[in-house]
Amino acid sequence: MYVIFRCDCGRVLYAKKGVATRKCTCGKTIKVKSRRILQRVETAEDATYAVQKMQEEIYGGSMFSTAEEFKQNKFLNQIDRKMKEL
């Protein structure tokens, strides 16, 4: 059995039932007992799928960008803002 919960940063996580703590990617160590359980599932695969679906609902699609793509998009957005100011 796996439990699904959220970190304070907003990321959805899962942990095996009975585990005391879980570390989020933001660096925070979370006490699983003190969290509100959003969902319970039987297998790790189901937990992974449920977390992906919840993350998509919260943040939109599950598209990942490389660091280079992120830098390029940030640069283009800065140019767009400067053009609008003119």
In this predicted model, what pLDDT tens digit does every residue of 2-23 receive, in sequence order?
999 999 888 999 999 999 999 9
In angstroms, rounded to a whole number, what is the distance separating the alpha carbons of residues 86 and 71? 23
**Sign of CA pseudo-dihedral 74, 79, 80, 84:** positive
Give the CATH number, domain containing residue 16: 3.90.820.10
Q: Which two tokens stand for residue 17?
A: 């039932």
In the chain, the percentage of residues whose pLDDT exceeds 90 is 51
In total, how many domains does the chain have? 1
Bridge partners (DSSP) listed for residue 15: 3
Domain that holds residue 64: 2-85
For residue 71, the model assigns a pLDDT of 62
- pLDDT-derived band at 61 (thresholds 50, 70, 90) equals low
